[in-house]
Amino acid sequence: MRLIGRFVEIGRARPDRTAVVILALVPFLLFSPALLPGRALTPVDQLFLVAPWSAIAPDTPRANPALADVAQVFHPWTLYTAREIRSGHLPLWNPYAYTGVPFLSNPQTALFSPLTWLTWLLPPTLALTLPQVLKVAVAGPAMYWFLRTLAISPLPAFIGGAGFMLSTTLIAWLPWTYSTTMVFLPILFGLVERLAERVDRRRVALLALALAGDVLSGYPPSAFHGVLATLAWALVRMPWRTRPLPFVVGFGAAGVLAAGVAAVQMLPALDYMRDSAVFFYRSQWTPPLAAGARSALTALMPYFYGAGRQTWSGWQFGIMSTYVGVVLLLGLPLALLTWRRPATRPLFLMAAAVAAVHYGAPGVEALADAPGMALVNKLRLMPLLVFPICVLGALGLDAVARRSAGAATRPILVVRLWFVALVAVGLAAVARMIGDPVVAGLKPSLVTQYVAFLAGLTLAAVLLLCWLGDGRARWGVALAAVQVTSLAPVAATYLPVRDARWLYPTPPAVTWLQRHADGARAVMADHVGFLYGIRQASGYDGLTPRRIEQTAGPIGSGNARLAGFLENVAALHGSEPLAPLSVLFSPVRELVGIRFIVLGRHAEPPGPGLRLAYDGADARIFENPAALPRAFVARRARCVDDRTALRLLRTHAVDLSTEVLLADCAAPLGASGTAERTEARLAVDDAERVVVTASSDAPAWLVLTDTWFPGWTARLDGAEVPITRANHAFRAVALPAGRHDVEFVFRPRGLRTGAVVTLVSLGVLAALLVWRPRAAALLAVVSVVLGSTVAEAALPRSPFELTVGPATFLSGSDTTLTVRPRARVEGRWDLYLVWLYSERAVFLAPDGAWGARPTPLRAGVAAGETVTVTWKNAGPAGEATLALLTVEPGGDPLERLDWRFRPSLATVTITAPPMPRPLPYGTLTVLLLASLGAVGLVLWARWPTPPRAAEQMPSRSPRPLPADSRP
């Protein structure tokens, strides 16, 4: 305790400075192995599981599937952007994914975030590592600062800051831009607190910068959540009785200025978001998502449901685990003792509301249809749960730090009862699962996790009771050490550290493609072709061009196709990748120009007509001679609607080498159909500029199988001409007879306007921060008119209701499914029943058996009819959600364009037949005895008595309690 006493003395002298320095340095200590020269904090192992990289892996890959997005998207984006910027090129368009896709217009690229700018200046290893460490190093002090604005004592504020910055939510999502938005939560809440204390121009400017930084961080849905939470906090913390109007004006001005600063990113993003698969899918219908109440166990043992390939929960570690350390967990009920403090009640309400959605409380699924909420993922609310829990835990500990002599009886009772409850829940959870084969290989084992939890919780309870007993600050310092120690193992080990040899080396097969592709597209595993200059029709960027997905998709992992099933589109949310497997087996593979197919070393051709072009030690590459060139001349044209175009393309009912299907026109112009000699050649093939030299002896159409997208313009021999959407997703230009140069140039719509608005807004902010002009004159300068997008109406409620009776039944039994009318609508409908949360599309046939091909449960049903089917030999065991899809007669249930109503859902629980399971009674007995010993220690041990007043550490906070000065 002597060393702890020394730290206490240092903390007494400068508590805030000491706390901030330690919180900022802890991440650099935990991640120090990744900061060594030639090392990087990156999960790139995932890349080396597939050909051709598997042949050149420096070591055995230890891949974590939950981190695949980082290896395939975020870290490649970082390296690609830095390379382009250093070469003097701002990447507006990515020509290497999805047959071309906007890059700057995708908010997740975060090109206007200062963290991204930092990566442009660093070598690759540091560019991937340092921003992640800085997020943690900023999150802790930011949370500490916010807690101090709430007049929380330094030690509880330090513990709260440590819990927030080392929480499993922030650590598990650290490489994603999503985690950056989490860092802004305490900053935004703290700035609202400051604004409520006093409204002045600098506080308005700082709040505007923080709001803009949140939006520009790279994950708009989470920023949307954060802004909503900040708005709610502003409403409850507004000085209603004294000066509400200045606060409202200041907060509103900050919001307007923040929108102006973010305009350079968000205005171009509107086009992509509106034309994305995410918007299309989620504006139709979003499957209800929840982590389930059982995931709350991770607040006790973060790895209870495993991680990586050992996950047995159904959701990945970052979604399931919301661990903030044992000390904050223990102090959580003590926050009830601070109920009269203004911050406590709204934070309890926030935690309860978010927990209800995250854990799936009954009735909250109705939020899926609330305006705006259907467009965001309900499994990304963890920051809004972790944040209030950390604050409430710190408030509870502050009640301990501020307790008066003789007032410890009730807190001691609360701590003891809460300790017993936590131990009982943890022991019951372990006892229920121990011996189950699903956790047999779990590392760390459930026993190890429980022992660590029990030891940490017991130590924290003893120290907390000692602090309650005599009020000495050394107990608080020891609690802070326990808090950091309980979080450090996960924080230091969850993300892998790799040396520079792992950073996207170039296999020989990729080198061969770079030499021979000549602008043609290839199919290969993963989505990193843009790092090597290899063009792909597959891609992954979190949004996905909608028409490319409809043409070459659907999106999803593609694994269902390998297993002989169709992709279950009812389970999709729109943010999934367009997988290489989907493109490989797509009926429009030749149209999108897939000339080369990269497969494993001993792979056979995936179809007829393919020629082996490369046979190396790392891969085989097959050439597809039937692939159309990216640019060609079509002799004939036909105007069709989108559904007709997709049907014709998928059924190969059109010779696409000679005829083009045009959209948004009544009658094609310019093509006579008599051209006999045509030619098209790519003269310039840059990212944002493509020049095609084309010729025809009669009027025809030049087709470029690059993605059609707003912002592309075309010039024919220097004269601007319109670009027509062709073959549903691509570009076409009317070509007069003769030889011509057609130039395509891309400039994102809204970029120039957004840049002007951003510069003006930054100028206003600079004036607010530096100069002293009148506020009215400054605010009058800002008049920003932002482009808006009108969301398509969600699908209406289904006229049929699906019920299962009973809802819980034994695996292998027969159960009755009933479809009852819920509302009358005209016409007849085909009803399909699918298993919702599954990649594989399986359909229940009228005979009660499941099949892989779309078979209607009942065809031609009128809205007033009742349908009953017996599900035979039901299984497998577990919880299942069934979805009833309603389409027009002859419609495709796996084509969302054919959906007319939202699916009707029914959840069933299928129980496995009782089977004897050997229980390790010896282990359970030891755990029970250890638990009883810990409970006895906490309940009946005697604790120190209060010391002399001079020995107690007084609060040095200059801020009064909010209850003393605020309504």
Per-residue 3-state assignment (H helix, E strand, C coil) for 52-78: CHHHHCCCCCCCCHHHHHHHHHHHHHH
Residues 6+ away with beta carbon under 8 Å from 433: 439, 446
Q: Residue 475: its pLDDT value, please?
A: 92
Q: Name the token pair of 811.
A: 């695996």
Q: Name the token pair of 417.
A: 């009862």
Q: Residue 948: its pLDDT value, please?
A: 44
User: Residue 326: which of 433, 423, 445, 430 has the closest Cα?
Assistant: 423
* CA count, 13 A, side-chain hemisphere, 809: 20
| Residues β-bridged to residue 879 | 909
CA dihedral 512, 513, 516, 521 (to 10 degrees): 170
Rounded-to-integer distance, Cα 836 and Cα 815, Å: 18
DSSP assignment of 284-306:
H--------GGGGGGGT-TTTT-
Contact 962, 341 (CB under 8 A): yes
- 220 φ/ψ angles, rounded to the nearest 5 degrees: -55, -40
Three-class DSSP category at 424: helix
Rounded-to-integer distance, Cα 702 and Cα 799, Å: 46
Checking DSSP bridges between strand 39-41 and strand 497-499, what pairing results, if any? antiparallel
Residue 905: in which H helix or E strand, if any?
Answer: strand 904-911
- Angle, CA 678 vertex, CA 677 and CA 684 arms, to 5°: 150
Three-class DSSP category at 889: coil
Q: Residue 323: its pLDDT value, please?
A: 97
Rounded-to-integer distance, Cα 656 and Cα 659, Å: 5
Checking DSSP bridges between strand 808-810 and strand 904-911, what pairing results, if any? parallel
Beta strands in 198-334 (DSSP E): none
Contact 23, 162 (CB under 8 A): yes
Reduce the secondary structure of 137-164 to three states and give it as a string.
HHHHHHHHHHHHHCCCCHHHHHHHHHHH
What are the residue boundaries of the structural domains of the chain, listed by start?
A: 2-63+104-498, 508-623, 631-704+712-746, 800-901
User: Residue 265: which of 225, 322, 226, 220 has the closest Cα?
Assistant: 220
Q: Name the token pair of 606.
A: 């995936």
Q: Residue 362: its pLDDT value, please?
A: 82
Contact 644, 619 (CB under 8 A): no
Q: Name the token pair of 899.
A: 């959906």
Three-class DSSP category at 953: coil
Rounded-to-integer distance, Cα 434 and Cα 501, Å: 41
Three-class DSSP category at 209: helix
DSSP assignment of 100-136:
SEESTTSGGG-TTSHHHHHHHTS-HHHHHHHHHHHHH
Contact 879, 808 (CB under 8 A): no
Rounded-to-integer distance, Cα 403 and Cα 270, Å: 53
Rounded-to-integer distance, Cα 217 and Cα 219, Å: 6
Q: Residue 559: its pLDDT value, please?
A: 87
Contact 752, 787 (CB under 8 A): no
Q: Residue 667: its pLDDT value, please?
A: 74
Q: How many CB atoms lie within 10 A of CB 755?
A: 16
| Residues β-bridged to residue 599 | 620
Helix-then-strand count for the chain, H and E: 32, 31
Low pLDDT (below 50) residues in the chain: 405, 773-793, 948-967
Q: Residue 313: its pLDDT value, please?
A: 85
CA dihedral 626, 631, 637, 642 (to 10 degrees): 80
User: Residue 715: which of 743, 740, 692 has the closest Cα?
Assistant: 743
| Residues β-bridged to residue 721 | 714
Rounded-to-integer distance, Cα 637 and Cα 656, Å: 10
Greatest alpha-carbon span in the chain: 104
CA dihedral 920, 923, 924, 925 (to 10 degrees): 120
Q: Which CATH number, 2.40.30, 2.30.30, 2.60.40, 2.60.120, labels domain 800-901?
A: 2.60.40
Q: How many residues does the chain have?
A: 967
Rounded-to-integer distance, Cα 150 and Cα 129, Å: 33
Residue 445: in which H helix or E strand, if any?
Answer: none
Q: Residue 785: its pLDDT value, please?
A: 28
Give, to the nearest 10 degrees, the angle between helix 244-261 and helix 201-215.
40
Q: Which residue has the tokens 């310039």?
A: 684
- For residue 556, give the DSSP letter: B
Q: Residue 675: its pLDDT value, please?
A: 74
Give how far Cα 291 sits from Cα of 96, 318, 321, 378, 569, Å: 35, 11, 10, 9, 21
**124-161 burial string, b = 16+ CB within 10 Å, else e?**
bbbbbbbbbbbbbbbbbbbbbbbbbbbbbbbbbbbbbb
Rounded-to-integer distance, Cα 538 and Cα 530, Å: 11
Q: Residue 366: its pLDDT value, please?
A: 64
